Structure 1
């Protein structure tokens, strides 16, 4: 069997899980929504139906101070049980198992009166915490125990104690945030007392039947974080107090090291988990950037972990585990690590969904029903919007033909394969190619549809995407001027000096490509990660890249900081990478003209020459809607979706959602 280790059962406290796959805890941001509990129940039910071995909920605070913010979920009394029971009953009805994560945010909370072991402000929070008193610490431990007791009453199969990512318990463990001199600070014994007593109290509150997991930071990735031997000592201490499973946490939220974005190599943190796995006798789960069954299988087979914890891959495909069990891992709709639908909205105060699966978090909203009448449907364009629309329309029973002038599916996604770190974006068109075939969609690739060809179709969907906006500037026809598509597709190679006009997402992708074309970065070296774990926090001095062989300058008209519109959780990574490679970023630019010398601009009233052998144009895009006008002139009704309808920005998140909604509505 291809994934025999991954599919082997494992038993905790008399409960046998059918496989080694966990849906890890992930904050979904539903709390402020009027239908939050039913929405959560639908979300977790679909994952349970999809065969995942164990679900861990998003964090639930044990007291009011521990909440994410005013709308944060808390479990402190039996009056709050009905909502939780909606979730547990729904999951159990599908034969699933679910445990509730108990999370006190500490100095990361957005509440007014925030607390921490010491009064040290987090760099990602504008508020400074106050120091907890001894009595408050004792009460907080009791709050954890009471929260665990209530979780069992709510029907959960156990709890997970969150002791990672820089939240309250992690703050007690690390010298970075714990400057106390009383019994809760000082040496490791004092600093881990808070966690040890929480685990002891929670174990007693759970009784012998319920499961307890602790999400422990395997490597903090911050200065004055835990040392390697301290992580092991803490793991052994919680094992001795009755912990059943240690789940891996990687890095603090304030760490300046990426941990889960697409730029992080898959399985990049398994070494940290393996170190703890070798030191304890209870099962240990690996997490972060584990998104394929093959990788998960190899980690377990090699003894680096006992289980794998995946969150975003279960957003992308709730049937992940069932497809592995059915021997169909290639049919999984893979997470591409973009963060655009999940983490970016969460950190901006929104609710999570998924770019490649718009149903995620909105399962009750995206319902597929047979159409009143089966029709012949033409979808023109094989980018995100077109693929999504064609697939859902065909699955509902329509006779669908998808046309695309390109020889392969994907649209703008195809360009991503050239961008370092985005290679896995190609998993999405690969998934759709297989899914469309299974759904019976007729594919006409490498064929530009004409209005005459579309006459026999009852419904016409135009998802023809965008074309790059033409440059209107003296010298725009100079031989050194090229479009970003020419560079990213490899049709043209840039010279030694490059000016990129535009600092949006495409401009950054182009710069990343040009830097990566001449130098393949080593992730650990670039970000200062010490896999030998010889210093605190697992950090080392970053290794500077060699002098660049190509001078790259990015420019934009807006006075904002370049990259201001990039993803909240990934933009800083791209900017830091380009800055290390000496890419100049200029804002508030007025473009004047292009000649043999390069790009002439004005910045702050001063005329400047950006010497360039190549000028790459990334100044936006326009709808590719010519066919729409021709069809409308013939009196045909057309549905315009994706970039063909609105090309104001390249937005795959909106395109997939728009295509899905139309496919379900036709």
Structure 2
């Protein structure tokens, strides 16, 4: 079998895991009930990933402290809030997970401290090791008292005992990682204490040491305790992270101290290190967008693995099985953790084992459905998988009568609608006017850092082929074509068109889509008009290709009207654009282009920019003319995707799933 080393067993402590895949911990927002137990969504969500073949399921963050950092409920599960209820709901979940041969660890948090996300965790004075600035709020944090630290440590023991009773095979401590509360104690930048919890590295790690000792004393030495661990912080300054390849002075934990800390933590009793790099001040490291390379933690995991004798887990865009297999073979890590890839496709592991790689739905690292929604709405979902974290509510509806359904448009909305219709047993037929499926995925996926957009288009092609959906390419549909077809229902998903306007010398004025697809050559020097997501990504791609790029935006900031974009994606892209040599001009109004010069009015006055071309990236407009021609002639007709309202990949897929699942 190919990738056989990914399917060999491994032990964490005395807990044997059937393969080398773990479900990486992701915030279980929306998966808890008001009593701190797992709700039905949470039980179904984790069980589905166990059913899909994952060897170790690690829950997202849960709490045990109910006194120092109180949470608005329901928020995340809490193992001490109502112990009887927690044990009962946990046992229901772990029994189902164990039926598939998977093991399950509860991730237990010491708290958020200075990095609490205000929309998630309610109102309370933020705490920290010392009086230091909060990450998001313009507030100073208050130092924890020694009594509060002892209280949190005791809650870990109580919570782990409840987790063991609830059927969990171990726990993972959250975290000397990403700048959470235990990490704030461990990092001298944040820890200014002069008591037994401050000063030396051993003192700064005392909190984490007492946690593992408390759990082992309550649950036994043979109860596995893993630790989420960041070997390097990537902090340039308060709220300022470093970019890949950037030279900077580390203000947080550097690699030398990180490796020394790793050895100490293992000596204290931790049975595995779930390793990455970064902090909330450098969020794009711990939550890597598509602008980070795949497998970005491998070199750091290898460093840790060379100095400890416990298993090392590695996450971070590890969805390429070739890379994962090589990482295990080369000794970079012992376990490959998949987070977002298991949101996108819970059956990833089983499909890989069966050699069905082309059937794995790719994660596109957009973070719209996961981190973006956690950040804004306190719920975890997935942009490309509408069923993630709502498996029961969004299960496929059985049909009573088969219908013939016409789908016009082969972008994500049309493809998703046809896929869902076919799975449910309807006869769907799709017409696309271009020569390939994918719609705006095609230009959007042109930059190498957006390769997974193209992978998603290929996945839809393969799905429709497997499901027997008839796909007609190079086929533009008219009103007469539709009326002659005798369809039971019609879905119009004709997408959108880039907005354009005249600047004078329009022979060298192109749309971003024209340039991204290679239909137009922008020359060596170009100006991108529009600093939204598409404009920024186009400018970055061209700059990385060696072009001289200027980015002109009418508003005072880049990506001001896109949202909610996950902070990790937005903040990294905002910094990458100027870092890659793109000149950014905001608050500017373009007035014309002639004689190879673009003229714009800026706050500093009129500016002329010499350039070989101008690229318009000023948004899209709905293409819904066919729908309006038909809306009063077809009894059952639906408008989906950008044709309904220009939005993003997530809402195109979600709306299509919703409608197609109820026809």
Name which of structure 1's ranges 562-571 and 316-325 shifts more when overlaid on structure 2: 562-571
The answer for the alignment partner of 1:544 in structure 2 is none
In the alignment, the residues of structure 2 paired with residue 14 and residue 591 of structure 1 have an alpha-carbon distance, to the nearest angstrom, of 66
CA contact (8 A) 1:555 1:587 kept: yes
Deviation string for 1:540-596 (max 9, x for gaps)? xxxxxxxxx51413222x455554525232112112111123433334444433333
Please give the secondary structure, in 2, of the residue aligned with 1:569. helix
How far apart are residue 513 of structure 1 and its match? 2.4
Name which of structure 1's ranges 92-101 and 273-282 shifts more when overlaid on structure 2: 92-101
In the alignment, the residues of structure 2 paired with residue 490 and residue 77 of structure 1 have an alpha-carbon distance, to the nearest angstrom, of 58
Which of the residues 243, 255, 260 maps onto 1:233? 260
CA contact (8 A) 2:14 2:222 kept: yes
The answer for the alignment partner of 1:527 in structure 2 is none
Name which of structure 1's ranges 391-400 and 324-333 shifts more when overlaid on structure 2: 324-333
In the alignment, the residues of structure 2 paired with residue 311 and residue 284 of structure 1 have an alpha-carbon distance, to the nearest angstrom, of 16
Query: What does 1:411-426 align with in structure 2 at a 5 Å threshold?
Result: 411-426=439-454
Query: What does 1:218-617 align with in structure 2 at a 5 Å threshold?
Result: 218-222=231-235, 223-255=250-282, 258-259=285-286, 260-454=288-482, 455-471=485-501, 473=502, 475=504, 478-518=506-546, 549-556=547-554, 558-563=555-560, 565=562, 567=565, 568-604=567-603, 606-617=605-616
Distance 1:657 1:87, change over 3 A: farther
In the alignment, the residues of structure 2 paired with residue 75 and residue 562 of structure 1 have an alpha-carbon distance, to the nearest angstrom, of 37
How far apart are residue 267 of structure 1 and its match? 0.9
Distance 1:408 1:597, change over 3 A: closer
Which of the residues 192, 198, 205 maps onto 2:211? 198
Distance 1:314 1:399, change over 3 A: same
Distance 1:88 1:20, change over 3 A: farther
CA contact (8 A) 2:28 2:59 kept: no
Q: TM-score, normalized by length of structure 2?
A: 0.89
The answer for the alignment partner of 1:210 in structure 2 is 223
CA contact (8 A) 2:419 2:464 kept: yes
In the alignment, the residues of structure 2 paired with residue 33 and residue 655 of structure 1 have an alpha-carbon distance, to the nearest angstrom, of 30
How far apart are residue 434 of structure 1 and its match? 1.2
Figure out how many residues of one structure are paired with residues of the other and give that number.
Answer: 631
Distance 1:307 1:376, change over 3 A: same
Cα RMSD after superposing both structures: 2.5
Distance 1:246 1:581, change over 3 A: closer
Please give the secondary structure, in 1, of the residue aligned with 2:379. coil
Distance 1:632 1:195, change over 3 A: closer
Which of the residues 110, 114, 127 maps onto 1:107? 114
Please give the secondary structure, in 2, of the residue aligned with 1:304. coil
CA contact (8 A) 1:336 1:424 kept: yes
Query: What does 1:110-189 align with in structure 2 at a 5 Å threshold?
Result: 110=118, 111-162=123-174, 163-189=176-202
How far apart are residue 339 of structure 1 and its match? 0.9
How far apart are residue 453 of structure 1 and its match? 3.8
Please give the secondary structure, in 2, of the residue aligned with 1:98. strand
How far apart are residue 425 of structure 1 and its match? 1.7
CA contact (8 A) 1:554 1:583 kept: no
Deviation string for 1:260-312 (max 9, x for gaps)? 11111111111111111122222111121212222221111111111111211
How far apart are residue 447 of structure 1 and its match? 2.3
The answer for the alignment partner of 2:643 in structure 1 is 644
Distance 1:430 1:239, change over 3 A: same
Name which of structure 1's ranges 262-271 and 583-592 shifts more when overlaid on structure 2: 583-592
CA contact (8 A) 1:499 1:555 kept: no
CA contact (8 A) 1:66 1:105 kept: no
In the alignment, the residues of structure 1 paired with residue 496 and residue 7 of structure 2 have an alpha-carbon distance, to the nearest angstrom, of 44
Deviation string for 1:69-113 (max 9, x for gaps)? 534436363724425632442342242322111112122234523
In the alignment, the residues of structure 2 paired with residue 45 and residue 144 of structure 1 have an alpha-carbon distance, to the nearest angstrom, of 25
In the alignment, the residues of structure 1 paired with residue 271 and residue 503 of structure 2 have an alpha-carbon distance, to the nearest angstrom, of 69
The answer for the alignment partner of 2:239 in structure 1 is none
How far apart are residue 354 of structure 1 and its match? 0.9
In the alignment, the residues of structure 1 paired with residue 269 and residue 140 of structure 2 have an alpha-carbon distance, to the nearest angstrom, of 34
2:27 is aligned with 1:24: no
Deviation string for 1:377-419 (max 9, x for gaps)? 2211111101111101001111121111222211100112322
CA contact (8 A) 1:218 1:249 kept: yes
In the alignment, the residues of structure 2 paired with residue 446 and residue 625 of structure 1 have an alpha-carbon distance, to the nearest angstrom, of 19
Q: Extract unaligned runs of 5+ from structure 1.
A: 519-548
In the alignment, the residues of structure 2 paired with residue 38 and residue 499 of structure 1 have an alpha-carbon distance, to the nearest angstrom, of 51
The answer for the alignment partner of 1:658 in structure 2 is 655
How far apart are residue 36 of structure 1 and its match? 6.8
Name which of structure 1's ranges 18-27 and 491-500 shifts more when overlaid on structure 2: 491-500
CA contact (8 A) 1:383 1:412 kept: yes
Q: Extract unaligned runs of 5+ from structure 2.
A: 236-249
CA contact (8 A) 1:371 1:396 kept: yes
In the alignment, the residues of structure 1 paired with residue 474 and residue 68 of structure 2 have an alpha-carbon distance, to the nearest angstrom, of 56
CA contact (8 A) 2:132 2:140 kept: yes
In the alignment, the residues of structure 1 paired with residue 368 and residue 81 of structure 2 have an alpha-carbon distance, to the nearest angstrom, of 37
In the alignment, the residues of structure 2 paired with residue 77 and residue 256 of structure 1 have an alpha-carbon distance, to the nearest angstrom, of 30
Deviation string for 1:339-396 (max 9, x for gaps)? 1111112222431211111111221221212211112222111111011111010011
In the alignment, the residues of structure 1 paired with residue 5 and residue 648 of structure 2 have an alpha-carbon distance, to the nearest angstrom, of 39
Please give the secondary structure, in 1, of the residue aligned with 2:431. strand
CA contact (8 A) 1:64 1:74 kept: no
2:651 is aligned with 1:624: no
Distance 1:88 1:512, change over 3 A: farther
Q: TM-score, normalized by length of structure 1?
A: 0.89
How far apart are residue 622 of structure 1 and its match? 1.9
CA contact (8 A) 1:631 1:637 kept: no
In the alignment, the residues of structure 2 paired with residue 164 and residue 635 of structure 1 have an alpha-carbon distance, to the nearest angstrom, of 57
CA contact (8 A) 1:383 1:413 kept: yes
In the alignment, the residues of structure 2 paired with residue 39 and residue 144 of structure 1 have an alpha-carbon distance, to the nearest angstrom, of 25
Distance 1:219 1:65, change over 3 A: farther
Please give the secondary structure, in 1, of the residue aligned with 2:376. coil
